[in-house]
């Protein structure tokens, strides 16, 4: 996958003398599972004094009291690790946060959102092992290693990429945040029922990500936009194959309106709500009508 960080972030800080862990910026119960998982990853006791000095500000990931689907748990995990281990490199931060985040999610999740939070900017991310049952080689057999990839834990990461110069990209909030855990359950159930159909669909999506990566490396906006359009169709096929609401009615409406403005739309992440990405060539007028009265994020 190609993953793009946003300007909205979680902030973690340590305040000497503070007596309890705090979460600011949202009406949330203070949940200790996340900071404790971070302490375990750092091989510190879960009741270490530093836990009580830790504060987390998640306000940027909410809008009008509504949680936006921006990978808040991944960003929070990375922010906490950075606060507790500020001298670690992005690769080390990722490895620690990936370990902690996986523990929180019962071993599930790709870790792409964790890597995006740790490295920032645009990255290419792929798993080198599969958490799905055999025959998992269907997902990995065609992958070719890339020059410059950092192999960390069970992932390969190519950081500091540049999107094509003539590409314009904006994220549009389409509704309720998607439940990643429920989507993973649905994907796993479909995989166990008809792994060939699911695997071939995932492989096709992976090929579009490879094409988009090639477009980044060669500054080819037309290729990137074509891969983007093909990936949107692939996400629709994946939803049909797995009987999951990856493509929502709101996304369909946005897609139809985008065509009128010579723009393209694709779900972000797992789909099912969250943000849809709107992309167009810089030479085309910005489809501003799509963004009226909507929560949007500029990405490039």
Q: What would the pLDDT profile of 53-79 be if each residue is shown by its tens digit?
A: 999 999 999 988 888 888 899 999 999
Q: What tokens does 59 get?
A: 């306000």
Residues carrying CATH 3.30.70.890, the chain: 167-298
Q: What tokens does 187 get?
A: 């994907």
Residues carrying CATH 3.30.230, the chain: 2-161
Q: What pLDDT does 133 receive? A: 66
Q: What pLDDT does 66 receive? A: 84
Q: Which residues of the chain register pLDDT less than 70? A: 28-29, 131-143, 300
* Architecture of the structural domain at 167-298: 2-Layer Sandwich (3.30)
Q: What pLDDT does 113 receive? A: 94
Q: Strand, coil or helix: what is 267?
A: strand
What are the DSSP calls for 25-87, one per residue? SS------HHHHHHHHHTT--TT-HHHHTEEEE-GGGEETTEEPSS-HHHHHHHHHHHHH-TT
Strand partners, 9: none
Q: Do residues 37 and 104 make contact, with C-beta atoms less than 8 angstroms apart? A: yes
d(CA 294, CA 224) in angstroms, rounded, equals: 25
Q: Is 37 exposed, middle or buried (0-12, 13-18, 19+ CB in 10 A)?
A: buried
Q: What pLDDT does 10 receive? A: 96
**Which CATH number does 2-161 carry?**
3.30.230
């Amino acid at each position: 996958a190609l993953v793009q960080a946003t300007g909205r972030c979680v902030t973690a800080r340590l305040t000497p003398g503070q007596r309890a862990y705090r979460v600011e910026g949202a009406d949330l119960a203070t949940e200790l599972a996340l900071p404790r998982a971070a302490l375990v990853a750092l091989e510190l006791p879960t009741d270490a004094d530093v836990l009580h000095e830790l504060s987390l500000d998640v306000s940027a990931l909410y809008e009008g009291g509504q949680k936006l689907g921006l990978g808040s748990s991944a960003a929070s995990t990375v922010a906490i690790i950075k606060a507790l281990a500020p001298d670690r490199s992005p690769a080390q931060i990722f490895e620690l946060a990936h370990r902690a985040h996986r523990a929180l999610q019962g071993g599930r999740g790709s870790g792409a959102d964790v890597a995006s939070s740790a490295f920032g900017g645009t990255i290419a991310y792929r798993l080198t092992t599969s958490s799905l049952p055999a025959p998992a080689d269907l997902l990995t057999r065609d992958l070719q290693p890339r020059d410059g990839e950092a192999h960390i834990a069970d992932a390969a990461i190519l950081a500091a990429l540049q999107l094509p110069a003539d590409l314009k990209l904006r994220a549009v909030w389409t509704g309720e945040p998607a439940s990643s855990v429920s989507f993973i359950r649905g994907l796993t159930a479909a995989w166990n029922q008809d792994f060939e159909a699911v695997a071939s669909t995932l492989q096709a999506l992976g090929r579009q990500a490879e094409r988009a990566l090639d477009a980044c490396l060669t500054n080819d906006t037309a290729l990137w936009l074509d891969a983007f359009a093909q990936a949107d169709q692939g996400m629709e096929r994946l939803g049909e194959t797995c009987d999951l609401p990856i493509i929502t009615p709101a996304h369909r409406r946005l897609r139809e309106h985008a065509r009128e403005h010579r723009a393209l739309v694709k779900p972000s992440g797992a789909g099912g709500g969250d943000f849809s990405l709107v992309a167009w060539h810089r030479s085309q007028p910005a489809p501003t009508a799509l963004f009226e009265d909507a929560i949007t994020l500029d990405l490039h």
